[in-house]
Structure 1
Amino acid sequence: MQPDTFLFDLDGTLIDSLPDLTTALNLLLSELSLPPLPRETVAQLVGDGATMLVRRALPEKAFSAQQVQRFLSLYQEHMLDETRLMPGIDDFLMKHQGEKMAVVTNKPYDLTLAIICELGLDAFFCAIIAADGKLPKKPHPQPVLRALRELESSSETAVMIGDHHTDLRAGLAAGVKTCFCAFGYGNDDGLAYDYRAETSSDLLRLFPAENPW
């Protein structure tokens, strides 16, 4: 059965936010007199939320909740400096506009909403599920299940689309199909999935719109 409900990860799937995440992280490292990290390294650290990103980037003794908050503050200042839609994503969204689509991300809700609105994505998504302190984060299935409830969709006709194994695990646990986006930052950790998109343009091939225009 062809999916009619599309649940999207944000960073590395819908948007290329790596430059701004790297900027904020390196500003934090500079404040701590630590050397900067290249984008390629930061790309390997994202996918599990801000706390895990900062934890992975800092020496164990330097990590604290205060540093996470400082990173988020720095990121908020720079999160729209260079962040853009992934190439080709706008084509998919335009052709599927009006269908059931949601964002399911581990990024804090207020930052997610600001980015989505600034990039004009709010016209396409009926639900935004982000880190709000109430739901567990992916790979827990609850964010995916919450999106299905808000969209009034069933797991049998939904697909979780993301670039990280946390997306695949969350989708699998929620009983939805999964699509791994190899063009993003993450890795599949050897997990099985239903679809694979080498480029963002592959998404329209995998999930063609019923009434393209």
Structure 2
Amino acid sequence: MKIETILFDLDGTLINTNELIIESFLHTLNHYYPNQYKREDVFSFIGPPLYDTFAEMNEGKVEEMMAVYRKFNHEQHDVLVKEFDSVFETVEMLHQKGYKLGIVTTKIRSTVNMGLKLTNLDQFFDVVVTLDDVENAKPHPEPVLTALKQLDAKAEHAIMVGDNYHDIEAGKHAGTKTAGVSWTIKGEEFLKAYNPDFMLHKMTDLLKIVGVE
């Protein structure tokens, strides 16, 4: 297996937005449902598109709830977001070695751009596929296939790296190899249940998998 293309999820994989996302959900939910949600209650909301999460709660107020969430999220973004250990040096090395690199995320482009710019990772990615660019979000294969097409890359020579089952299933459905990250907020055992081809315990583990010594 020769890996030439590496696709990454963003939140929870490259950058630590967990605290930002949790606080954004709690802020929004406490506004609409005071004192009904605790911190651990929102863990399951991390990963799917915002629309899907809020539609299950109150279909009539989805857009309004998304606006409340995003206002808080953008205001607090630069305070709460950090990159994970060894991410920058790993992505920089892959870029220097000529790998095709892409982001595949369920977030909207404006928020994605904020995270990439804040962590200075924006310089390394040839393609960024966001929720704005597809009809179907992960775990549907469309976002992964869209990134591969834009990169002129073959699925059999690509790997999808992520912290959620949506990432693993999207990669499998698109025909790529998959790698989970052990620092997922949902726990390594949760992600292992979806049988990723590899499990990363630090981002530098990826270098050996793709053949960078």
* In 1, Cα distance between equivalents of 2:191 and 2:107: 19
Aligned to 1:177: 177
Paired residues of 1:160 and 1:176 also in contact (CA < 8 A) = yes
Give the number of the structure whose residues are more often helix, by fraction: 2
Give 1:126 shift.
0.3
User: Which runs of structure 2 are paired with 1:49-64 in the superposition (5 Å)?
Assistant: 49-54=49-54, 64=62
User: Which AA in structure 2 matches 1:87?
Assistant: D
Aligned to 2:203: 200
State whether structure 2 residue 135 is matched by structure 1 residue 122.
no
* In 2, Cα distance between equivalents of 1:206 and 1:189: 17
Residues 164, 129 of structure 1: CA spacing in aligned structure 2 closer, same or farther, 3 A cutoff?
same
Give 1:189 shift.
7.0
TM-score after normalising by structure 2: 0.87
* In 1, Cα distance between equivalents of 2:73 and 2:168: 26
Please, what is the CA RMSD of the aligned residues?
A: 2.2
Paired residues of 1:163 and 1:181 also in contact (CA < 8 A) = yes
SS in 2 for 1:153: coil
Q: What is the aligned length?
A: 207
| Percent identity between the two aligned chains | 26
* In 1, Cα distance between equivalents of 2:51 and 2:185: 17
Give 1:62 shift.
8.8
Give 1:205 shift.
3.1
User: Which AA in structure 2 matches 1:202?
Assistant: D
Give 1:165 shift.
0.8
Return 5+ residue gaps in structure 1 as ranges: none
* In 1, Cα distance between equivalents of 2:68 and 2:194: 34
TM-score after normalising by structure 1: 0.87
Residues 61, 104 of structure 1: CA spacing in aligned structure 2 closer, same or farther, 3 A cutoff?
closer
User: Which AA in structure 2 matches 1:194?
Assistant: D
Paired residues of 1:23 and 1:78 also in contact (CA < 8 A) = no
* In 2, Cα distance between equivalents of 1:46 and 1:91: 26
Paired residues of 1:25 and 1:54 also in contact (CA < 8 A) = no
* In 2, Cα distance between equivalents of 1:146 and 1:107: 15
Decide which moves more: 168-177 or 192-201. 192-201
Aligned to 1:67: 65
SS in 1 for 2:73: helix
Decide which moves more: 18-27 or 105-114. 18-27
Return 5+ residue gaps in structure 2 as ranges: none
Deviation digits for residues 158-186 of structure 1, max 9, x if unmatched? 00001111111111111111111121224
User: Which AA in structure 2 matches 1:75?
Assistant: N
Deviation digits for residues 117-141 of structure 1, max 9, x if unmatched? 2221111100000111643100110
Paired residues of 2:134 and 2:142 also in contact (CA < 8 A) = no
Aligned to 2:38: 37
Paired residues of 1:21 and 1:79 also in contact (CA < 8 A) = no
* In 2, Cα distance between equivalents of 1:193 and 1:106: 19
* In 1, Cα distance between equivalents of 2:185 and 2:211: 24
SS in 2 for 1:103: strand
* In 2, Cα distance between equivalents of 1:189 and 1:65: 34
- Give the one of 76, 82, 85 matched to 2:83: 85
Give 1:143 shift.
0.4
Aligned to 1:132: 132
